[in-house]
Amino acid sequence: MEYFILLQTFSMLLLNYRTCELFVLNKSEHLEPHIKESNYIRDFVFGFGDGINTSLGIVAGVGGANSSADFIILAALVGMFTGAKAMAVQNYLAVKSQREVLESEIKREEYEIKSYPEKERSEIEEIYRAKNFDDDLVKLVTDKIISNKTVWLKTMLTEELGLNLDIVGNPIRGALIMFVSFLIGGILPILPYLLSRAGFLPLQYSLWLAIGISLTTSFLIGAKKSKLAKKNWIKGGIEMSALGTGIALLGFGIGAELAKANLLNY
């Protein structure tokens, strides 16, 4: 009896694994939470972090050279928009290239299943023998898998090649997320200088407020990212905000030293 319950559970898992649903044969249904579309979370965190650190480095560096608010805003906005465009284009090309490689592997596997079905069947049998399934169960599971060409292909891709096209993401969507998140992060360190330009904040306080905003938001994003990954959220927040602190100090130091050396005329 347990033998057939195991087989039924395994078959249901094969047919429903895209929705990450695992049905347990008892009165209650158990659904494990999983992070879906993690590639887009990665794109947002990467874009936001790069945007905020790029702008913070610019305002700290140019501000360290005792420039006017107008000059700082101009430099930061140019850096923000060019950086967002560059990151979006690079992300698009990277994801597109990765998808093309995976799609070529899928076509190759489809061809092998069609042209050499017995060879592919024996490969499935070897996969489940390696998982310590007995011979009778291997035969039953293999028959179930190859009865559905879609399941057969996905099994070969995931079990044999370790590939999953779904986790790569859409290159256009990934590029848009990268672009927007870069702008969201990039505008935050510029806001104090816009307030200063409008007369609401003295210029000498703008850099400190920019650093404060950047560190706070970086901490929140890092903490949220770590919570999603089920890691220590405090450590994740400190890690991301510490990176911003280092960039601000580096940018400020470079700008101040260039100003002292009289290498800049503005």
Predicted confidence at residue 266, as pLDDT, reads: 55
**210-236 pLDDT, tens digit each:** 988 988 998 988 888 888 778 888 888
Nearest to 77 by CA among 182, 216, 174: 182
Predicted confidence at residue 20, as pLDDT, reads: 37
Instruction: State mean pLDDT over 36-46.
Output: 74
Predicted confidence at residue 107, as pLDDT, reads: 85
Residue 265 or 170, more confident: 170
Predicted confidence at residue 15, as pLDDT, reads: 39
Instruction: Give the count of beta carbons closer than 10 Å to the beta carbon of residue 12.
Output: 14
Per-residue pLDDT at 80 exceeds 90: yes
Give me the percent of the chain exceeding a pLDDT of 90. Answer: 18
Q: How many whole angstroms separate alpha carbon 30 and alpha carbon 62?
A: 56
Indicate the range of 149-163, 170-184, 206-220 predicted with least confidence: 149-163
Instruction: State mean pLDDT over 56-66.
Output: 83
H helices present in 116-134, as ranges: 117-129
Predicted confidence at residue 164, as pLDDT, reads: 65
**Distance of CA 198 to CAs 76, 80, 175, Å?**
17, 20, 33
Per-residue pLDDT at 116 exceeds 90: no
Distance of CA 147 to the CA centre of its chain: 36
The angle subtended at Cα 41 by Cα 38 and Cα 44, nearest 5°, is 155
Longest dimension (CA), the chain: 86
Reported confidence tier of residue 16, pLDDT bands at 50, 70, 90: very low
Distance of CA 85 to the CA centre of its chain: 18
Per-residue pLDDT at 181 exceeds 90: yes
Per-residue pLDDT at 25 exceeds 60: no
Instruction: Give the count of beta carbons closer than 10 Å to the beta carbon of residue 164.
Output: 11
Per-residue pLDDT at 34 exceeds 90: no
Q: How many whole angstroms separate alpha carbon 263 and alpha carbon 79?
A: 21
Instruction: State mean pLDDT over 9-29.
Output: 38
Per-residue pLDDT at 187 exceeds 80: yes
One-letter amino acid identity for 152? W
One-letter amino acid identity for 234? I
Predicted confidence at residue 14, as pLDDT, reads: 40
Work out the mean pLDDT of the chain and round it to a whole number: 78
Reported confidence tier of residue 167, pLDDT bands at 50, 70, 90: low
